[in-house]
Each structure stands twice: as C-alpha cells, then as structure tokens.
C-alpha cells in the first residue's frame, strides 16, 4: 500500500507537528496496538493517547510493531488531575514514558483543567521543567476554555497546543480567536462529531459530491484548511487512509463559509468547568 504524507504546522517553539493524526480513544491496549501499527503503515505520523485512555502500553507496542523510527513519529499523551502540581507533572510524564516504552514525548498535555481543584497553573509550571529537561518537545493543554487559558497567560505561560472538541457543529470561535492571537495551535478531538449525523448535513454532503470525496473527508479538509490539527479515530485501515487523504483537494471559499455557518447549541457538550479527570 502506498503511504500518504501529511504536511506539518509549526508550533511556536519551532517544532513541526503533522496536520492530521490518529486518535485512540476508546481503544484498549490490544486494539490500540493494531490500529497504531496500521496507521503508521498508512502514513500517519501523529499519534494521540492519554493516561486516562488506559491504552498507552498498546500504543507503544503499535509503534514498535510498525517499524517506523521513533524520530519520525509525533507522540502525544495527557495526564489526569491527580498530577496537577510541579512534581506531579514529572511523575505523570515518567509514568507515561514507561508505559509507552519511549524516552521522550513530542507533546504532553494537561487533559482537563479541573478548575475546582485549581492546580493547573502549577501543573503547567511543572511541564516547562520537562521541556527544559528534554523529556518533552512541546507542552500544552486540552479542553481549556478562554478563562482557563487566561490564568496561564497571567502567569506568563502560553501552551504550544490546546486540544479541544471542535467540528463544524461546534466552532468554538471564542477559543480559536485566542489561539490565533497567542500563536497556539488548535487541535481538534472528535473532529467528525461525537454523535452520528453531522456527515449527513446537506452542506457537507453537497461539497463531498462536488469533489468526489466522502463527507468525512470534506469535514477533515475543512479542519486543515482552517489551520486546525484534527485527530480522527479509526481502527479500520481503509478508513484510516481515507481520513489522511485530505490534501489533494481544496474547498472553495463558498464551501468553507457554508461549513462555517453550521455552529449550533449543544447542551450535552462536556463542560470543562465541571467535567474532568
């Protein structure tokens, strides 16, 4: 099978990050090992996992099985609220490194801000030390709202990446505007939507028909054309290849605008002021 290569975006510290990656939630270790090896074989070079997914060992096994050199892979993981302290960030990082079987991470994220605990600023200070020590190449946040990011800015801290739920139905325009102003890369989890139905939207289906692509490819193309880094999850090699193959066509200004008008309220959306682990 011929491989597909994704272009990269450059983080504010100069580190290149592939513009499409593989999400691995909710795979277990066995599923992750197979899916990661398959994805790397197709051409993916960005792999996303987390302590909370419980599949870091499987992700590491998939990397080793793939035969792709560690230096070619951009590996991301995230840590939970119990590690929200300066020393805790290092403990979390070292534990993830052991589970993954690697000696450094490309990106380490605070998984949720957990503002009730109010220790994410300390955790981020801890991650800056990991950066200085060479254990991680970049640091960031996940599920941080503008108010959470502002607390970091006030402490003189700016994440390289903020990974958030984002798709044409959840535009997150307030957060994206802050990212752009501060040079933070926007990474999108569940980029194809958490619930079924978005890829049946008439605006998305119409664009797919015009370009001879799948609706999912149109949505992922919208992400990359917007400058985002989507990390769709798939364990199916054919679907993995489709999800990565979004760099051979361009949506028109009108199509981009049509997808940019699909934002809608979602009362079921996880609220990071109250949800977290």
| Nearest Cα to Cα of residue 235 among 106, 58, 83, 10 | 58
Widest distance between CA atoms in the chain: 53
How long a stretch of residues is the chain?
A: 277
Token pair belonging to 145: 């709202």
- Per DSSP, 211 falls in state H
Q: Is omega for the bond preceding 81 within 30 degrees of 0, making it cis?
A: no
| Residue 247 burial class via C-beta count within 10 angstroms: exposed 0-12, middle 13-18, buried 19 and up | middle
Catalytic positions are 53
**Residue 240 · residue 42 · CB < 8 Å:** yes
């Amino acid at each position: 099978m011929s491989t597909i290569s994704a272009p990269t975006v450059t983080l504010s510290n100069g580190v290149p990050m592939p513009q499409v990656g593989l999400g691995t939630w909710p795979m277990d270790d066995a599923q992750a090992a197979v899916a990661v090896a398959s994805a790397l074989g197709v051409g993916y070079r960005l792999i996303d996992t987390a302590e909370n997914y419980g599949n870091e060992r499987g992700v590491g096994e998939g990397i080793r099985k793939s035969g792709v050199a560690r230096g070619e892979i951009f590996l991301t993981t995230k840590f939970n609220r119990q590690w929200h302290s300066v020393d805790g960030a290092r403990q979390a990082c070292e534990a993830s490194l052991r589970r993954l079987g690697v000696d450094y991470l490309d990106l380490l994220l605070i998984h949720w801000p957990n503002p009730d605990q109010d220790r994410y600023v300390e955790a981020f200070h801890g991650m800056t030390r990991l950066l200085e020590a060479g254990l991680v190449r970049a640091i960031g946040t996940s599920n941080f709202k503008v108010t959470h990011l502002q607390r970091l800015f006030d402490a003189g801290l700016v994440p390289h990446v903020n990974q958030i739920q984002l798709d044409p139905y959840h535009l997150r325009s307030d957060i994206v505007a802050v990212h752009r102003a501060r040079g933070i890369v926007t990474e999108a989890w569940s980029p194809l939507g958490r619930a079924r139905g978005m890829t049946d939207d008439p605006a998305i289906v119409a664009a797919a028909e015009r370009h001879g692509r799948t609706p999912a490819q149109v949505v992922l193309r919208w992400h990359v054309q917007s400058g985002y880094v989507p990390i769709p999850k798939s364990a199916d090699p054919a679907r993995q290849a489709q999800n990565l193959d979004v760099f051979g066509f361009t949506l028109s200004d009108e199509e981009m605008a049509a997808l940019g008008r699909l934002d809608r309220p979602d009362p079921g959306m996880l609220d990071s002021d109250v949800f977290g682990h």
